[in-house]
Structure 1
């Protein structure tokens, strides 16, 4: 009985485990969210304080020359009324150019989707054919230049060997003359004979070394020739010095009238011959160096031409493939990115053009005008100061990382705990350019003008503020929870007919809950969240 009870208990435990895992897995199936168009807003939340309204200093965001001053001290102004403007002619020109570039980008994308015409394909075929001919010509030109360079190099070294052989011959002739002078005149045991004997022995030794070096160069490598040239240059210099010493001995008192003038002249002539041979050796070295430099430059230029021609051919082949194939997702994404870039520049210039007009942030009265027409205004300059007509403002300290997103005119929703359940609307009317340290952290103070304050509102009341810094409407959105960011690449998991595939996307504006999607997925697709 105990055995049967244990078996039943085991079955119950196993069944419970199976049911646990089945229901746990069933409950953990990922939730799907359908991609659709919606709004994305970026908001900043902070806590501020209600204050009695103070003078608002208003200035331009960008520098420029003041074109108009539309108010004077004492004038009453309404919120949104233009009070000054900058000369924006150049920005208007740039904006027109940006709009034209945007239209071109859109047209190129439509052309990509429509595919290539027969005429475009024929043009692409011609481009490939021309590129193939250019590539073949460039390769043949490289081969010709390399062949010519080889021939020039061989000629330079052959000429150098000729110069070496000539130097060897001139050295031998000098050795013969030195020997005859020694045998005919300097055969005594005097100092002059010892000097002549020593220099003759030196010439003979140098000649043997030169002769051996020349023999190696005649059958060796180019490096052997260059070494032989270097050796010959030194040997010839030393042998010339030896002849000088022998010639000097022939002019001593003892031998001046003994050595014949013919031998003296012969010594002088052979020294000149050796100097000429040495100059020829130096010229041969310079010729070889010049040929090397010239050949390297010509070959490198020809190789660059081959690489360029090959790149042109590959581009032409790629363009031909584009005319024959449907546009890929990569090419679509590229053209969409170009459109987005053009849209961003257009929007930037539109904003910059709009920033060229200074408008009153609130109803009030002008109390100061600090610039004149024609003067240069900087972003730090206050053009006009306005005393708002509303009794209260809200002052808020914004963290330094958030202040870069806040602009004058941003809408705000204010909740004051003293008035529960009621939201007050307002707009940012000023941003203090000076930083403020709070517990070692940098903040910047902004002022928000309240649209309709309560009559019994008091200065010093706490105000919870939400500032809307940026908003995009009618754009593709997905929840932030759908994003998978790895290594700087943003992906989502898309359900395609019950099969999950990871897909890279390009994102735009990040909101509190949702993210704008620029490319990578389409409206109606479903993603895991």
Structure 2
């Protein structure tokens, strides 16, 4: 019985032990599964990716600095132009006439200055002679010099008759011929303008000056019939002075008539363009005759002074020198110096006036500031335009750049000179263009509430496929490291200002997870981060903490 009992108990115990074993197997914990990564050595690159737009390196909108009527437009949209090429010009015949007159005055003043300089040298030479004393041969030389000076003066007077006749002919053409088509009436009935200047005082002034000029011209031409080769010199001097007054009267008439032709009202009449040219031609002719009369007067005056000076010098040589004569000659030298200085000052003033007119002429034309392509021409020949209105646009032919807004989170990564690669939406991702960062705007630009900074990127090589306005995708290489230890960025976490990883450490019976403090460096664009301290190559780290 015991045996059976033992056996029975033994069988029952076996059954209990087996059941317990099965229960333990069913409730035993499964092995923990980890998502891990291995610390490896690799090259790490940090890139900033943004989208921008292609624009020309230079673009400019051009406008006239003065108003007027468009006279010429030698270019069209799409034309390539060189720096300094004419793009458009206004009618500036009046300024051309003024410049011609101003330059004539400058030339006349310079000629007079040369005479004054020569006179100063002569006075200085005379002073040297007075101080030195006179020799017989010097008296003979001075007498010959006087004879020459007197002959030069006589020759100058011979030119008076021809000069007066030429001035009379030009004045007749300017007053009677060039302006005839602009007036009706005659001297007896009075003159009326054949166009409206929309300015009654100006129109009255013009018709009055027309009649005054006609009447004065008749009287002047009558007086000139008495002038001939045998006319006394004092009469010739008076005739030249009268001629200058007459010409100034005609000049005043033509200037006022020109003002009437360029009022806003009269400029609307295209039929008057030819008449304006006639009046400007008349003004130039009258200015030239005024200059010719002035030049002859100056020539005669200069020769008279030379004759008087040489006569005085001859007398001094013949009489010998005294202390008072030396003092007097010194005073003449000082006077000649002052006269020359005054004339030079007048020349500078006249040149400044001519330069001002040139500046006004420059404002009547548009020229290309650089080599490029015309992108806008918004004007027509004959159109009256206002000042400071953009009419012609040019973009540079030298190259293109990409302008992109970089978020504040990435701007600190970039610096001038960083290389990059650009793709243009027009050509797809297979076509790339090498670039480099050229400029980083220090001031922020808020885009949709986000502070951004404008970065300008230049193409390394010119390419005819690049066009202004294209959309560009940029990958800028901000930094790189070679042969450094890297782990996935997800494996690193922070706490209290430090960086940590969870490192797997093998041990008997399984793996142990320990937190390790690490130093980090560059964050790569591929999702990895540089580990500078705390890990060795081959170490395994957790990417995610396993769930229970």
Fold shared per TM-score above 0.5: no
Give TM-score, length-normalised by structure 1. 0.31
Give TM-score, length-normalised by structure 2. 0.30
Q: Return the index of the structure with the highest Cα Rg.
A: 2
